[in-house]
């Protein structure tokens, strides 16, 4: 759903002096709260449960209630209320705020106001937004800049997904799922890919594609679109933008890219890409008068998968556009340790390596499993997948099944509905039935709590187990490590 705010456009500064955030513990909302607190605002909010994010915000001075109740609005005097699209109209705090005439803002409007006075870089796309935004942030930091940032995940180095920096750059993950990225006016816009998703909001693939064109129209005069030349949707968007007079830079493996990955090979847990700058060159090498060679750099990435190297190239190009120096940017990208829930290592127990990942679209599942296969080496690859949203499961069950077929053993959980109500006939069984493996290698497990035990039964030393999905399956990764530890201890000699 799309929350209707009580005003249009970004917030005024006075409206962000006392702010109540409904769902304050969410990745996007907690980030806004952190920046507001750093800027001296009085911040309150509520969430359905305590969490690490909520505890951190309380330590920073926020007043946070557990549970949603109209009385929570009294934590501050006449606050501006900020909500995300995940908050339903029936929420008692939202209903009370509207009835009381309080200003209600969508999360994107509040974030747009926090960007005021900064050079804004927005990273959008169906997949890879969080990783690319995080890479750009770390790269800029190593380049001597201190950007403000708001990311939909926590950097492993910083432990947070948001920061109020001292520099004039603001880096933000731009969410297309509910069209909220149309609130921003970026100087640098990155689009990693455009592939049908979030049709529960957009309705059709054509409408989904069209909202990216609207996003490009939001680029500030003199700004630039950085688009992946390998993705058909992003490449077509770049062509339309260029025809409309927008400056465009393309990256990727494709010969159409002016910042091109000439080669890539896995090394250790990450990879090494050789990157050539052509077109608008950075420090080109003059071979002789009138003859110029493109700059060639080696880009090391500490996270696995060629798709991650491609994200890193996008961050490198954006960093150059924002004034970062190339050696510093490369150093930052090489040191980037990842984002929580993006192929995050959770532990090694009984000789079994356990990772957790946020992938929740077939293309993401495919890319992550290909990277995981390389990390697994001679071991088997086991995956526990939790479908996210009934509408997405119904639309893409066959594609999910095909992608999961890259694993050796698959456990499919039931659907994590999030903001949606159940749909008759739509369950994780649709995905499990579509996996092209032998029936003995595919398990549909609708009982959430049984999954760690089931995975421990299937795993053996040398295997890599990956829990995957955008829901609460992330909790099970830690429980699996504990279960494997318990079994290993029980089997050890006295």
Active site residues: 129-130, 173
Bridge partners of 62?
A: none
Longest dimension (CA), the chain: 77
DSSP string, 139-178: HHHHTT---EEE-SS-BTTTS-SEE--SSSEEEEE---TT
β-pair type (464-468, 352-357): parallel
436 SS3 class: coil
Is residue 431 a contact partner of residue 399, using CB atoms and an 8 Å limit?
no
Place of tokens 């050890």: 492
Q: What are phi and psi of 17, to 5 degrees?
A: -85, -35
- Bridge partners, residue 465, by sequence: 354, 382
List the Cα angle 343/349/354 in 5-degree steps. Answer: 15
Residues ≥6 apart with Cβ < 8 Å to 279? 249, 258, 259
Question: Is 403 within 8 Å of 369 (Cβ atoms)?
Answer: yes
Other CB atoms closer than 10 Å to residue 267's CB: what's the count? 12
Helix then strand then coil, % of the chain, to nearest 5? 40, 25, 40
Q: Is 178 strand, coil or helix?
A: coil
**Residue 262's closest CA among 251, 272, 270, 273?**
273
Residue position matching structure tokens 């002789």: 288
In the DSSP assignment, the letter for residue 156 is T
Q: How far apart are CA 165 and CA 302, in angstroms?
A: 25
Token match 């090979």: residue? 265
Phi, psi of 56 (to 5 degrees): -65, -40
How far apart (Å, rounded) are the C-alpha atoms in residues 156 and 150? 14
Type and span of the H or E element at 430: helix 428-434
* 444 three-state secondary structure: strand
């Amino acid at each position: 759903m799309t929350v209707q705010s009580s005003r249009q456009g970004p917030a005024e500064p006075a409206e962000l002096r006392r702010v109540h955030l409904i769902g304050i513990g969410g990745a996007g909302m907690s980030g806004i709260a952190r920046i507001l607190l750093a800027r001296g605002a009085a911040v309150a909010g509520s969430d359905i449960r305590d969490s690490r994010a909520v505890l951190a915000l309380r330590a920073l001075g926020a007043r946070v209630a557990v549970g949603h109740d109209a009385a929570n609005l009294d934590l501050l005097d006449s606050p501006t209320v900020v909500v995300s699209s995940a908050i339903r109209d029936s929420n008692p705090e939202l209903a009370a705020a509207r009835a009381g005439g309080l200003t209600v803002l969508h999360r994107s409007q509040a974030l747009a106001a926090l960007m005021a006075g900064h050079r804004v870089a927005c990273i959008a796309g169906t997949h890879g937004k969080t990783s690319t935004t995080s890479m750009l942030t770390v790269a800029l930091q190593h380049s001597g800049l201190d950007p403000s940032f708001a990311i939909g995940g926590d950097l492993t180095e910083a432990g947070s997904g948001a920061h109020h920096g001292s520099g004039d750059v603001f880096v933000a993950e731009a969410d297309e799922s509910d069209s909220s990225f149309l609130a921003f006016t970026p100087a640098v816009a990155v689009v990693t890919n455009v592939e049908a998703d979030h049709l529960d909001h957009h309705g059709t693939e054509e409408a989904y594609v069209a909202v990216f064109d609207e996003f490009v129209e939001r680029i500030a005069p003199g700004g630039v679109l950085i688009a992946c030349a390998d993705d058909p949707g992003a490449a077509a968007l770049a062509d339309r933008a260029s025809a409309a007079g927008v400056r465009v830079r393309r990256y990727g493996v494709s010969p159409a890219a002016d910042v091109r990955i000439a080669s890539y090979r896995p090394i250790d847990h990450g990879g090494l890409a050789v990157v050539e700058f052509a077109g608008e060159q950075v420090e080109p090498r003059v071979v002789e008068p009138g003859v110029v060679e493109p700059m060639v750099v080696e880009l090391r990435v500490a996270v696995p998968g060629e798709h991650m190297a491609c994200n890193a190239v996008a961050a490198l190009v954006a960093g150059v556009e924002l004034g970062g120096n190339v050696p510093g940017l490369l150093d930052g990208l090489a040191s980037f340790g990842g984002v929580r829930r993006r192929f995050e290592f959770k532990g090694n127990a009984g000789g079994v390596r356990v990772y957790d990942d946020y992938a929740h679209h077939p293309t993401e599942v495919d890319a992550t499993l290909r990277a995981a296969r390389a990390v697994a080496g001679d071991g088997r690859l086991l995956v526990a997948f939790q479908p996210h949203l009934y509408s997405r499961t119904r639309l893409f069950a066959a594609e999910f099944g095909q992608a999961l077929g890259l694993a050796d053993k698959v456990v499919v959980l039931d659907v994590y509905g999030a903001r949606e109500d159940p749909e008759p006939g739509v369950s994780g069984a649709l995905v499990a039935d579509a996996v092209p493996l032998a029936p003995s290698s595919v398990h549909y497990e609708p009982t959430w709590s049984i999954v760690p035990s089931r995975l421990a039964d299937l795993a053996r030393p040398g295997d890599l187990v990956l829990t995957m999905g955008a829901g609460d399956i992330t909790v099970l990764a830690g429980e699996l490590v504990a279960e494997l530890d318990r079994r290993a201890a029980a089997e050890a000699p006295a």
